[in-house]
Structure 1
């Protein structure tokens, strides 16, 4: 027998660490199997169950907080539900406001999309263009658009042009930056292969560069939409007092708190619908991106 020091035998301690390990093992291998070993939810049913549970918890917390506050400051969720019915069915003023705000948003995006993609493409393909424009793009991108509202009011007044300019400035720079990044990230071997088949610059851009940069462009579109939607609401709240932003101001100034929450919720809903729609459009136009993500 050796004379070395024997290792003391350790026994599991019934404490916090053991309970935590049991819980982790139960979530990974137990009857419910909520999470996979990579930390993802195992099924869509589990995802929706947790989402519903979170929503119920938020509503209960909101109700409890509202009980101890004045109705002029905060109302319970049930009052907001009643206000939604009032503004969508009984007195459907919300639809006209949404139509006005979305019209401004879509016109501004239609104007900014081709310009932003074209400038980003030029900056990504030609180093000289990037060196000239990059300082100005960076400066205007980091500048809060709300700081330019007084200037835009002096130039364009309080008409539709003010909202369009705000939408354009809010959407254009994420488009430029993401398109430029996508163009720069194109695999050089793809470009060399296209040139070996005598592809000119126009063919190279159309068949190689733009398809490869499409996921980056869609990311820029999503960011641009978010900024543009913020620009529309900001213009309506601060200057025009019209559209869905104007409803927020009207109801807040008259302490109709329940009704004030209705346009806020619809602003969120419009953003979610358009973001999800653009995600599906991206998967349809760039299916190779989804296959690459699944492969990872």
Structure 2
């Protein structure tokens, strides 16, 4: 019903400015198989993958420290909270001044977008580790490395995955935002250039691809949570 109303409304009132469902469906295959779209998708996904890897690794490491080292938490929490509340769009102009209009700017914005939710979520998880586990590790005289591997990481794993889940969405938004504002090659620029050329169908296909990537990423993190930390699901039922 929604599709029918959408199609009829656009054809009656704004045929030159908005895409129709039939037009998007017709442009789907040509857009997905075009060289320009493939190049743009590769640029965005490459930046997102590397930025996620760097940001999530650094955020998880800092989050573990924030949860277990009180002085580090008190020192860093105000700055992390402030950055976390700041829209990524506000960071892009500063990043372009410091790093220029280059792939480094995109990587920095994506990494920061992923870093913050991972640090916050992992820190919350590390603080919630039961004191009994710490006492048990002392009784067993576990080394610091064994405590991290056998106690800290398994206990915080659900929170780490939850942070990654948020980080993926923020990384995609950050990538598109920096491509919009810095005119870097990628899906953001692809959408903008097609919209300016009144190729709304192709632009909407790219938007659908971004939405699909977000859905797939969320499903992937939920699957990882079920397989890697099944006890967490049983506890929260």
TM norm structure 2? 0.94
Moved over 6 A (4+): none
Aligned to 1:290: 233
Unaligned 5+ segments in structure 1 are 1-56
> In structure 2, the residue corresponding to 1:68 is in which secondary structure?
helix
Aligned to 1:84: 28
Q: Is the 8 A contact 1:215 1:282 kept in 2?
A: yes
Aligned to 1:64: 8
The CA deviation string for residues 172-205 of structure 1, in whole angstroms up to 9 with x for no partner, is: 1111100000001112222222222222333222
Aligned to 2:115: 172
Change (3 A) 1:165 1:232: same
Unaligned 5+ segments in structure 2 are none
Residue 254 of structure 1 pairs with residue 197 of structure 2? yes
> In structure 2, the residue corresponding to 1:242 is in which secondary structure?
coil
Alignment of 1:38-187 (within 5 A): 57-89=1-33, 91-187=34-130
Q: Is the 8 A contact 1:86 1:92 kept in 2?
A: no
Q: Once the 2 structures are TM-superposed, how far is the Cα of residue 241 of structure 1 from its aligned partner?
A: 4.4
Higher RCO, Cα 8 Å, sep 6+: 2
Mapped partners of 1:241, 1:190: distance in 2: 48
Q: Is the 8 A contact 1:178 1:217 kept in 2?
A: yes
Q: Is the 8 A contact 2:103 2:184 kept in 1?
A: no
Mapped partners of 2:184, 2:27: distance in 1: 20
Alignment root-mean-square deviation, CA: 1.5
Residue 231 of structure 1 pairs with residue 174 of structure 2? yes
The CA deviation string for residues 31-89 of structure 1, in whole angstroms up to 9 with x for no partner, is: xxxxxxxxxxxxxxxxxxxxxxxxxx332232232232222222320110011122124
Q: Once the 2 structures are TM-superposed, how far is the Cα of residue 99 of structure 1 from its aligned partner?
A: 1.2
Aligned length: 237
Mapped partners of 1:243, 1:75: distance in 2: 21
Q: Is the 8 A contact 2:101 2:184 kept in 1?
A: no
Moved more, 92-101 or 103-112: 92-101
Q: Once the 2 structures are TM-superposed, how far is the Cα of residue 278 of structure 1 from its aligned partner?
A: 1.8
Which has more helix, going by share of residues? 2
